[in-house]
Amino acid sequence: MQNPKEKIDLSQSILSLIFIFAMSVISFLVIHPFILGFSWASMIVIATWPLMLKIQNILWGKRLFAVLSMIIILLLLFIIPVFFVVNSLIATSIPLIHWFSSNTLEFPELIWLQDIPLIGKKIFISYQELLEGDGGELIREIKPYMGRTTEFFISQAKNCGLFFMHLILMLFFSIILYWNGEKASNAIRRFALRLSLKNGDAIILLAVQAVRAVALGVAVTALIQAVLSGIGLLISGVPYWALLMIIIVFSCLIQLGPLPILVPSIIWLYWNNSTTWGTILLIWSCLVFILDHILRPFFIRMGADFPILLILSGVIGGLLAFGMIGVFVGPVVLVIFYRLIISWIYGISIASFLKNPSSLKEKH
């Protein structure tokens, strides 16, 4: 009887592996420009899929009308606000470019320092000595490099162009995924079942729950905080309140909260003798800050019953590791890993745990 191992062609196996590896690398290089846009589209579609189905039921079951409605929502929430932010940054950076390129950098006199009680005169004298001594030398050292700042702004304009390209790709892929959501879901499910017949469906369900928990607990909370903060800034008379409101959205998404924007605004109001409005904005900011600690746990529990610390750790860690897309990728990875570890420790499958969460308590 012939040994099966003798029939193995080693050179053929090695060449096959090399071919598969080469094709995988080339395929990755081809789709690399589209990965970020597709990833954002996937996370957004997963998080908003129930909303799309509700809109479809309202609009006589027509998928076309539902997709158009979701695209309008994405335009209002993502594309248009980002466009206004970039437009405002460009408008404010043009005078800055001229100022840097003019080689006329001078430190302000800051005469008002003398009016500060007790220590004002000493600070003003020290500041004048700095300008007359090392300060003037510092200006002379900086001036030769000031003309090069235009290159920096040009490179940042290039980055803004790439960002807009990814937004357009996100919108394009969102349309495809909204239209063919069921087919994409079935394909992903088959792939997961090929990886693990026992836990494939459960892992997909965990990933979907994690994405929706982040979308509700992080994204929706950030939008609510930004809107409330924008109302406070508008009423109190802070300039550029719309731009600040959009910045607050991103600040809340990366878990810094609204206070890094609201606190300087409060200081600015007090500095300009608007003590009444400064106090009102201070009280309003405290309410917004407290509301953050109420809404986020509530919305995360709505998305899925996961430990809040696990979700927030995934958001911050994913952001540091993968950028903005890591806000969704980090929690998904941590949740799946957490469930795998817990299931392995207590000797139960993920699928059985999801069907009967009390089984973990019984094991414990």
What's residue 158's pLDDT?
55
Q: What is the pLDDT of residues 329-340, one digit of tens each?
A: 788 788 778 877
- 47 burial type by CB count under 10 A (0-12 exposed, 13-18 middle, 19+ buried): buried
User: Is 61's pLDDT higher than 90?
Assistant: no
227-255 pLDDT, tens digit each: 899 899 989 888 878 778 878 888 887 77
The percent of residues above 70 in pLDDT, for the chain, comes to 69
Residue 258, helix vs strand vs coil: coil
For residue 264, being part of any structural domain is answered with: yes
Strands (E), the chain: none
Radius of gyration of the chain (CA): 28
CB-based contact 326:308 (threshold 8 Å): no
Is residue 238 a part of any domain in this protein? yes
Q: Does residue 169 sit within a domain?
A: no
Structure tokens at 189: 């499910």
Average pLDDT over the chain, rounded to an integer = 76
**248 belongs to a structural domain:** yes
Residue 269 has pLDDT above 60, yes or no: yes
The count of structural domains within the chain is 1
Q: Which domain holds residue 339?
A: 181-364
Dump pLDDT digits (tens) for 87-112: 665 565 555 555 555 555 555 555 65
| Distance of alpha carbon 241 from alpha carbon 254, whole angstroms | 20
pTM, 2 dp: 0.68
CA 139 to CA 142: how far, in whole Å?
Answer: 5
Residues 63-76 have a mean pLDDT of 89
Task: Give the position of tokens 């400064």.
Answer: 278
